[in-house]
Amino acid sequence: MALDNETVQTIARLARIKIDQSDVDKTRASLENILDLVAQMEAVDTSGIEPMTHPFDATMRLRADEVSESDQRDRFQAIAPSTERGLYLVPKVID
């Protein structure tokens, strides 16, 4: 995809990036390469490809879902400034 220098400067302004006038041509070439790569990836037929959760065929190592600590809510809430029905009460900060 061909970009002109004005478009590159507009993109830089929108991205809040300062590009020196001497670097505009180099930046334009880099952006064109990125857009060409995106166009190549869009051209690939992925209709029969299942989405992946991870690029490697690895299984997740999960631990057993077991309770390892006792319930101490009452003990912790006893020292809290304000609680009600098992919940901590805090001052309202947003109207």
Q: How confident is the model at residue 39 (pLDDT cuts 50, 70, 90)?
A: very high
Residues 6+ apart with CB under 8 A from 57: none
Q: Please tell me whether residue 86 adopts helix, strand or coil conformation.
A: coil
Measured at the CA of 59, the angle between CA 55 and CA 61, to 5 degrees, comes to 125
First to last CA, the chain: 49
Say whether pLDDT at 1 is over 80.
no
Q: How far apart are CA 37 and CA 67, in angstroms?
A: 49
Sign of the CA dihedral with 27 first, then 28, 32, and 33 last: negative
Model confidence over 59-77: pLDDT tens digits?
778 888 899 999 999 999 9
- Joined tokens for residue 43: 């051209």
Q: How confident is the model at residue 22 (pLDDT cuts 50, 70, 90)?
A: very high
Q: Are the C-beta atoms of 26 and 3 separated by less than 8 Å? A: no
pLDDT (mean) for 30-34: 95
